[in-house]
């Protein structure tokens, strides 16, 4: 098994070796490590619902009522009563006929794409789509045509130029996970109509985040009725775990019967589904949560821009990348910021292209605005100081 060590040495030589780090979350916005508390600007817990007492209580009650594990796959004995409630509530939230819950967003993408497309079909996929979309495309055995990021002219050319015996599927992230920008879904649906393609949007970072009431990218553009497949996760803004797909009754029945990652895996535990359901109800009852999230993101973005930091794009999403270029520099900066009590992720190749390594800040509705402003000051000072050292 020489290849194991060889691979690890190669990764270490490229300074891309990865490890898991244990953090002890003490709130939605702070973690503790070795007795020290850190401000977390690196979580997808966009609405802070992991620590909402109502959500926590729902999970505790579900354990008491139904036990800790589901004990079976969804099509055998694993579908406990909370699944029905959650799937109906998700369909209602997305304004679709039906919805179906998978164990993770990753499994939803892999399962749905490989269920919808096969060897005769063509998938048109944005070059910055999430890894789980890429893996779903590979698994489908369809021909995959990758278009430049959000480049609608190229997408049109490719749709025009690519002949296809079977179906055409256009798939895109709604909010892109590394840059925080929003896919031009209004234009995508127009092209899809023209070239008879199915549209699928991955709203992992958009559900509970953009659109009126956090309803996602299709709602943001007002094109819900033109997007056939809306995918989301419970693992980010909804503070739990699990992926879901919302669409027509027929689509959901088809997925239930065909998506292998749905069929061949044990169903999520009652506590997880209860938490996701309670979080969704909290989101619907308190749309101000989404407004606060957007205001906090806007504050950080504006402060960084004011300090002339290389922030990627303006937008409304709570993902705010500060491009520093070199992978090593990104890692060093996050280490320095950690010493100053702030945890931010360094995103490096292969997750992003070489030369675009970045500090990826994520903001939540639970962050305190004064604390955010102070953190931005620290980040700006640290980045500027490192630039002086480099020069």
Polymer length in residues for the chain: 391
Q: Let me know if 205 is a catalytic residue.
A: yes
Smallest separation (angstroms) from ligand PMP to the CB of 178: 9
Q: Let me know if 265 is a catalytic residue.
A: no
CA dist 368 and 372 (Å) reads: 6
CA dist 13 and 338 (Å) reads: 24
The site for ligand PMP (CB under 6 A) is made up of: 104-106, 109, 130, 132, 173, 177, 202, 204-205, 233, 235, 243
Among the listed residues 236, 329, 357, 367, the single catalytic one is 236
173 vs 382, beta carbon nearer ligand PMP? 173
Beta strands across the sheet bearing 30-33: 24-25, 30-33, 36-40, 342-343
Among the listed residues 125, 132, 177, 366, the single catalytic one is 177
Smallest separation (angstroms) from ligand PMP to the CB of 46: 12
Q: What is the largest CA-CA distance in the chain?
A: 63
> Is the separation of the CB atoms in 256 and 65 below 8 Å?
no
Sign of CA dihedral 364, 370, 373, 374: negative
Beta bridge partners of 287: none
Smallest separation (angstroms) from ligand PMP to the CB of 265: 12
159 vs 201, beta carbon nearer ligand PMP? 201
48 vs 105, beta carbon nearer ligand PMP? 105
Burial-class residue 254 by CB neighbours within 10 Å (0-12, 13-18, 19+).
middle
Smallest separation (angstroms) from ligand PMP to the CB of 105: 2
Helices of type H across the chain: 2-13, 53-66, 81-94, 105-116, 131-140, 152-161, 185-194, 217-221, 249-258, 260-263, 270-285, 288-306, 327-339, 369-390
343 vs 383, beta carbon nearer ligand PMP? 343
Among the listed residues 80, 205, 329, 367, the single catalytic one is 205
Other CB atoms within 10 A of residue 342 CB: 23
218 vs 309, beta carbon nearer ligand PMP? 218
Smallest separation (angstroms) from ligand PMP to the CB of 316: 16
The closest residue (CB) to ligand PMP is: 105
Residue position matching structure tokens 């699944």:
83
Q: What is the DSSP letter of 38?
A: E
127 vs 328, beta carbon nearer ligand PMP? 127
Q: Let me know if 215 is a catalytic residue.
A: no
Smallest separation (angstroms) from ligand PMP to the CB of 91: 19
CA dist 312 and 359 (Å) reads: 11
How far lies 165's CA from each of 159, 210, 286, 334, 347, in Å?
A: 13, 36, 47, 49, 39
Residues noted as catalytic: 177, 205, 236
């Amino acid at each position: 098994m020489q290849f194991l060590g060889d691979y690890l040495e190669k990764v270490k030589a490229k300074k891309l070796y990865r490890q898991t780090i244990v953090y002890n979350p003490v709130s939605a916005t702070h973690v503790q490590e070795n007795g020290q508390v850190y401000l977390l600007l690196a979580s997808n817990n966009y609405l802070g619902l992991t620590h909402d007492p109502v959500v926590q209580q729902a999970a505790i009650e579900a354990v008491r009522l139904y036990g800790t594990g589901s004990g079976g796959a969804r099509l055998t004995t694993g579908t406990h009563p909370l699944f029905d409630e959650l799937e109906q509530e998700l369909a209602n939230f997305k304004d679709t006929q039906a919805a179906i819950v998978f164990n993770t967003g990753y499994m939803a993408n892999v399962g749905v794409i490989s269920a919808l497309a096969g060897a005769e079909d063509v998938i048109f996929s944005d070059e910055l789509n999430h890894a789980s979309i890429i893996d779903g495309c590979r698994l489908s055995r369809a021909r995959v045509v990758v278009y430049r990021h959000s480049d609608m002219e190229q997408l049109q050319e490719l749709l025009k130029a690519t002949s296809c015996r079977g179906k055409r599927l256009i798939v895109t992230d709604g909010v892109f996970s590394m840059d925080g920008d929003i896919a031009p879904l209004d234009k995508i649906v127009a092209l899809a109509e023209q070239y008879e393609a199915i549209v699928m949007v991955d709203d992992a970072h958009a559900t509970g985040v953009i659109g009126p009431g956090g309803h996602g990218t299709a709602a943001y553009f007002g094109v819900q009725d033109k997007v056939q497949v809306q995918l989301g996760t419970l693992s980010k803004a909804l503070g739990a775990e699990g992926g879901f797909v919302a669409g027509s009754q027929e689509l959901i029945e088809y997925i239930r019967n065909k998506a292998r990652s749905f069929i061949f895996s044990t169903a999520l535990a009652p506590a997880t589904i209860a938490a996701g359901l309670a979080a969704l109800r909290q989101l619907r009852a308190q749309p101000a949560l989404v407004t606060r999230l957007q205001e906090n993101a806007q504050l950080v973005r504006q402060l960084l821009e004011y300090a002339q930091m290389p922030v990627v794009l303006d937008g409304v999403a709570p993902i705010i990348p500060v491009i520093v270029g070199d992978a090593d520099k990104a890692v060093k900066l996050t280490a320095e910021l950690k010493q100053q009590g702030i945890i931010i992720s360094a995103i490096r190749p292969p997750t992003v292209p070489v030369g675009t390594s970045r500090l990826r800040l994520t903001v939540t509705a639970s962050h305190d605005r004064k604390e955010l402003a102070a953190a931005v000051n620290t980040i700006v000072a640290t980045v500027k100081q490192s630039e002086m050292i480099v020069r």
